[in-house]
Structure formats: structure tokens, C-alpha cells
Chains A and B, each alone.
Chain A
Amino acid sequence: MKSIAPILTVLAAMVALWYAAVAPMNIRVALDSAERAGETVTPATPLARQEVSVWRLMAQNPGQIAEGYALDRPRLPTPAQVGQELWKTTGDMALDGRAFSKRSLIYHGWITLKSTFWGFLLGTAVGLAGAVAIVYWRVVDMSLMPWAIISQTVPIVALAPMIIVLSSQIGIEGRDLPKAIISAYLCYFPVLVGMVKGLRSPTASQLDLLETYNASGAQAFWKLRLPASIPYLFTSLKIGIAAALVGTIVGELPTGAISGLGARILIGDQFGTPLAIWAALFAAAILAGGLVTLLDLLQRMTLRRMGMGAGA
């Protein structure tokens, strides 16, 4: 709670910087549209303005600086414009009862969330299975672990268009599966690494104690290794779900997707509507924040019930 004031101060400073940056970023666009509207600006033509720095343009045309804050297609929209666009495509449409129309970000966010969820589930399952195999079989540890590390240094985005083409050639309809595969690819690694650490976290004396109880291997797993790994599991799940969301959005970017937040970014780029891009970006950020917070709450609740809460 102590850090609320510093966080708010830093956030306020960032917003102030953003507002300050809008003027130089948008002055050229503002002057172009002012010229089209018949106002006199100096220098008079876009070509001549190319030669002049934005600071001189602002000094010579102080009247047009304000227009930079209210453009339809700004190079850099103001935070207020982004907020308005975000509200127009989410809350406003929901109030109209069109929350799931194809133009609303709630619909696209839902599509992205669904793929993220499947990718997260798949990636977590693969990561867990891999971690158990690595902890229990030395040959898997020796042969698989280096490749798991190498797999993360391979930029998956290079493979993304290929995965989409492959799955459509094999005859899988829709983009849900390829998207889920891409996000699972990014998500499994943190889970794998975290769980290998977690499953190995019981000390030798704890394992020996179970041996004196004549516990079987399965009992040692369920009663010692798994509970001991839960804090590691949640930490890596939080990283994993953020990675899964990145994977889904990357999977929506190339080769013509039409729904999902990534596709909104792509479409906004193609149609030259920067406000749509910014709104989709912020929607993605809100989604990421929400998912991580949700897992954080789940972690606190679980650990408290298991007696491993922060106070214990």
C-alpha cells in the first residue's frame, strides 16, 4: 500500500509526457488538414514543411497546435482520445445491447481470450508433463532439456504463418487450433522450468523421511513433491499466461485474420485508423493485466489454504 503514491506519481508523469509529445508528433498532420481547410499556414506547402523541424513549425503556427489534439487520424492520439475510442467500442456498445457485435472490442477480446485460454491449457499440460518426465527420467532430462531451451530461442513468429498454412492444408477449419499451438509454444517453457525447479525443491532429508515411512513413489509425488512445487507453479503460470496472450496476438497478426485483438491491430493498420490500433492495444493490456491479477489472487488463496501464505 505504501507504494500507491509513487506509482500514481509516475503514472501521472507518464500521461503528462504523453500529452506533451502529442503536439510535436501531430503538428505536421494538423498543418496539412488546416491547409486543406483553407487556413494560411507557414510554410504554405507540405513539401516545404518537410524541410522545417517540428519545433519551428510549432513556433510559426501556434494557432494550429491545439488542432493536433483533436485530429481524426493522428500520428499520436491523446490518452483521452484512446479512452473515448475504447469506451465507444466496449462500454457504449454494451449499453446499447450490442456487446458482441463484430465491431465491439468485447467480441474481439473474447475471441482472443478463448484462444489464449486453450493455448494456456495446452501449454501448461505439456509443461507439467515435461517437468514430471524430466524429474523422474534422467534420459529425458539429458536429451530434452537442452532442446526446450533452444526452442525458446527460436523466434516462433517466424513459424506462425507456417503453422497457420500447415493446419489449413491438413484441413483444420478456422484459426483456433493454430493460434492455440502458437500460444502454447510460448507458454509451456516457463511452466516447464518452474515445475522442474519446484518438483526438485524437496530436500534430501524430506525425501528420506518419506522413505522411512515406507512411502511409494506415487505417494512421494502426491504428498511431497507436488505440494512443495505449488508456489513455483503459480509463479510460472503468471508468466505463462502473459506469454500465451502474446502468442495468441502474434498468431492473429499475419495472413489475414478477421477476429481477435491482433486482427483489430492489423485491420487498423491497413485502413489507416490509428485510434482503432491504440484501442485494441489498450484492450490487450487490460486483458493481460486482468489475467495476471486473477492468477495472483488464486495464488494467494491457494497458498493461504495450504498454510504457505505470506504471513505464515
Chain B
Amino acid sequence: MTWLVSALVFWLCAWALNVWLAGSRWRRNLAVRIFVPVLFGVTLLVLWEGLVRGLGVSPVILPAPSEVAKVFAASTSTLWEDFNQTVLKGALSGFLIGAVAALVTAVLIDRSRFLTRGLLPIGNFVAALPIVGIAPILVSWFGFDWQSKAAVVVVMVFFPILVNTVQGLHEAGAMQRDLMRTYAAGYWQTLVKLRLPAAMPFLFNGLKIASTLALIGAIVAEYFGSPTRGMGFRISTGVGSLSIGLVWAEIAVAALAGTAFYGLVAWAEKRVTFWHPSQRR
């Protein structure tokens, strides 16, 4: 009972503090802008812990965050092995191959107006399809190891990046292109010095969408067969054998990896497209 009450009290206090901070004159301060969401997240964890302990929820159904942290600390080697298999080998290599392939295809397509008009609607349509479904087919083609996971990721990230890049390549205005022509710039010079940089905000938009898709693809593909390691494998077997603590630890790793991956792409975007109005402060 004390757990429950103190968790609720903590929640109320944190909420009141956040309301006060959001209305105070420091609300534009960077520290406050970071502190408010962090406090919100901590509150959720405290509420979870309090509810699980206060209501005596069985750890088989929902373990408390502290239990998950304990399991996490005790099985770091397993978690690292799975992270290596799924994120570094499966998702990241697939993401890189898919991104490069999409970029090259976009530049090639862009040379022909006919192809652009034909492929853009199809690419838009395919990007909306549930492509994860091809996972079992690709697993049977490329085997159980990480190559098949990378293949699923390649197919999943290809179309969002392609569509966004093709759109971005049209972004440079007629005036700017004319200026390049008065400089006697060739096709490749115009591409590298004007059109690709102008396309960067669009390209990064596609990369950000793809960064979340990549992890989804790599994990789903493991549900259809994998060597005895990998996050998807550990989650599906962990649910079956009721080692729920480990499953939640894997989920935490997946969440951290996803956030870090997205953050990395967002950081690179900030570096590359510093000139764009949306990045100016």
C-alpha cells in the first residue's frame, strides 16, 4: 500500500513541478526543456514500479523496472551478442546497403523525366505497403543468418529513401540551375554542388523514416528463423519460456538502440543541413 501511495504522491508532485516549470520564466532555458520530459519519463517508471509492487502483480505478467534493470545488469554479455547480431549486422548493414542503393537509383532515375513520372507514384504506393510480410520469403532465400535480415531491411528502407530523394532532387529552383549554367557547370558539377545539397533535407527525412523501419525489419525477420542469437529470437523464445525479465531487458535494448539510431541520423542532419530554415534558431 505504501508503494502505491508514494508512487501516486510522486506523480502528483512531479506533475505540479512540471506545470510550474512550463509556466515559469525559465521555460525557454535549455536545461528546463530537457528536464521536463525527463521528469515525465521518470514519473512513468516510478508509477510502473509502484503499481507493480503495490498491487502485487506477478513478475511473470509484468516485472517491475528495478527487476528488469537487475536482469539487464546480470546478462549484459547475452544482450551484447544479440545487439551485435540484430542491430549491427542485420539492421545497420541492411540500412547502409539500402540507403546507398536508393540514392544511386534516385540519381539514375532523375535523368529521365519519363522514369520519374512512372516510378514516383509506384514508389509512393510501395512505401505504404506492409513490406514486413516478405520476411519469411527472404529468410528462405538467404538462410537463417544475418544476411536474410539485412535483405529484409534493404527492401524496407529502399522505397521511402528513393521517393524522398527523387523529390528532393527537384528542389533546386530554375533560377539556381540557370545560375549554374551561366557558370558553365556540367551535369555532374550541378548535381554535386547544387542539387544533392538541396536534396539533403528530403534525403534525411527518408533516412529518419528508414531508421525506425530498419530495426522493425531486422527483428520481425528473426521471428521466421534465426541462429540461436538475436533480439527477435530471444524475445520470441523468452515469451515462450516465461523468462519475462530478459524479454523486457531486450525490449529496453531495442528501445535504446532505436532512439540512438534515430538520434544519430538527426544529429547528422543537423550537421549537413545547417543552412535549412528548419534548423536555424
Contacts and interface: CB of A to CB of B under 8 A. Distances in A.
Interface of A: 2-3, 5-11, 14, 75, 138-139, 141-147, 149-150, 152-159, 161-162, 165-166, 169-170, 238-239, 242, 245-246, 249-250, 253-255, 261-262, 265-266, 268-269, 274, 277-278, 280-281, 284-285, 288-289, 292
Interface string B223-264: 110000001100110011000100110110011001101100
A161 B235 contact: yes
User: Is the contact region of chain B dominated by helix, strand, or loop, or is it mixed?
Assistant: helix
A161 B27 contact: no
A153 B130 contact: no
Given A147-B37, A157-B216, A162 B27 contact: no
Give me the 7 closest cross-chain CB pairs, A-B, nearest first: A6-B118, A10-B118, A269-B136, A139-B22, A143-B40, A242-B128, A153-B258
A284 B121 CA distance: 18
B97 interface: no
27 contacts: A3-B117, A6-B118, A6-B119, A75-B141, A138-B23, A139-B21, A139-B36, A142-B36, A150-B259, A153-B212, A153-B258, A154-B251, A154-B258, A154-B259, A155-B212, A161-B236, A162-B239, A162-B247, A242-B128, A249-B130, A249-B132, A253-B132, A254-B236, A266-B136, A269-B140, A269-B224, A281-B137
B61 interface: yes
A139 B23 contact: yes
Contacts of B136: 265-266, 268-269, 277
A75 B140 contact: yes
A159 B122 contact: no
Nearest to B258: A153
A284 B114 contact: no
A39 B255 CA distance: 55
Contact of B18 (A143, A152, A159, A169): A143
A250 B220 CA distance: 8
**Which of the listed residues A157, A170, A239 has the most CB atoms from chain B within 10 Å of its own CB?**
A157
Given A75-B141, A155-B258, A266-B136, A255 B236 contact: yes
Given A161-B235, A269-B224, A284-B133, A292 B128 contact: yes
Contact of B137 (A141, A146, A277): A277
B220 A157 contact: yes
Contacts of A11: 118, 122
